[in-house]
Amino acid sequence: MKKAKFVFLVFLMFISPYLILSIHFLDTAKKIYIKDVLSFMELKSRIIASNLDDFINLKYDVLSFIREPEFLNLSLDEKKKYITKLYSSNKDFIKEIIIANVSGESVFSTDKNTKYNFKNDPIFQNAKFENFSVGAVTYYDNGPAILTIAEPIIRLKGEKPQFIAIARVSLSRLNQEVLKASRNIPGYILLIDSDGRIVCDSSYNYIFNSGLFIDEKIKNIINSLIGSKINSYNGYMEFKDGNKLISISKIESTNFWLCEIENEKNIINYSSIKWAKRIVIAGAILIAIFSFLTLKLAILLFKVH
């Protein structure tokens, strides 16, 4: 009985500090792995955001034709015919093109049954006075969001515009690009407007509800990034439904932000954690073996003396 107590006390004496160090070791190993995953997620998000930025500049610059001399030198009637032809070949993508005068009254629209007055429209006013292309997103319950773009028609640099071109463009193609980018990602991707509204997401929730907003925690991070003029972020956050890894990147030429969210339980490589645990268990077994050997050594020394 005394021998068993001796072995137990020796084991307890060495296992106590060992377990404290082991807990720290396991926690550190997990944190290092999460940090590596977050760095990789941020790299992926930046690449996807860059690709989406290129896609938007290539596919959604639908008013680029108004900067061309070929269009600028046309009369107003000829401009209308030019726009009608362009619109006819892109109806699935471009929903409407409008020309308005500087007072805000539409002088032409591809939708002949509709008349507009943009006098109090902030997009129109910004395009009128800032002399560059501006846009805003409108959300619908029965279809993809619509991007409205306005740009002044200026023939010579520095002159005041006589007309403002306005286009309404479906974001369905951008949605498809986001879904394509999410195929090889364990979690899901969100495309977020600067006000925190979800433009689209790889979980398809945006299709059923146009009023979706991002979680308040993520919205606060985006607001902080905007205020600090920082274009990316990665972090480990706690939510009601579990811990998640977050990566956020700005789509440079827009007010959109790309957010990748992955559940901790889905992303953690538990094989590496198990490897660390095996080391800890092996150490505990060695301490137990050496505790028994200490008894044998003590008995041997007692006999010698």
- pTM summary value: 0.76
pLDDT over threshold 80, residue 301: no
pLDDT over threshold 80, residue 228: yes
pLDDT over threshold 80, residue 144: no
Least confident of 20-24, 152-156, 176-180: 20-24
The CATH class of the 1-59+172-305 domain is alpha beta
Domains of the chain, residue spans: 1-59+172-305, 62-170
What is the per-residue pLDDT across 60-107, written as a single tens digit (0 to 9) for each?
A: 888 989 889 888 888 989 999 999 998 888 888 899 999 999 888 988
Please state which of the four CATH numbers 3.30.450.20, 3.90.226.10, 3.40.630.30, 3.40.50.1110 is assigned to the domain occupying 62-170. 3.30.450.20
Average pLDDT, the chain: 83
How confident is the model at residue 304, as a pLDDT?
A: 47
How confident is the model at residue 205, as a pLDDT?
A: 67
How confident is the model at residue 117, as a pLDDT?
A: 85
How confident is the model at residue 97, as a pLDDT?
A: 92
What is the per-residue pLDDT across 170-193, written as a single tens digit (0 to 9) for each?
A: 888 888 888 888 887 777 888 998
pLDDT over threshold 60, residue 211: yes
214 versus 142: the higher-pLDDT residue is: 214
Residue 295's pLDDT band (boundaries 50, 70, 90)?
confident
78 versus 4: the higher-pLDDT residue is: 78
pLDDT over threshold 50, residue 10: yes
118 versus 22: the higher-pLDDT residue is: 118
Least confident of 36-50, 144-158, 178-192, 268-282: 268-282
Q: Highest mean pLDDT range out of 27-36, 81-90, 120-129, 285-294?
A: 81-90
What is the per-residue pLDDT across 268-288, written as a single tens digit (0 to 9) for each?
A: 665 666 777 777 788 788 878
Residue 210's pLDDT band (boundaries 50, 70, 90)?
low
Using only C-alpha atoms, the chain has a radius of gyration, in whole angstroms, of 31
How confident is the model at residue 305, as a pLDDT?
A: 45
Please check whether residue 68 is in contact with residue 82, taking contact to mean a CB–CB distance below 8 angstroms.
no
61 token code pair: 């610059």
Q: Is 138 exposed, middle or buried (0-12, 13-18, 19+ CB in 10 A)?
A: exposed
Topology alike, domains 1-59+172-305 and 62-170: yes
pLDDT over threshold 60, residue 57: yes
Question: Mean per-residue pLDDT for 20-34?
Answer: 77
How confident is the model at residue 174, as a pLDDT?
A: 87
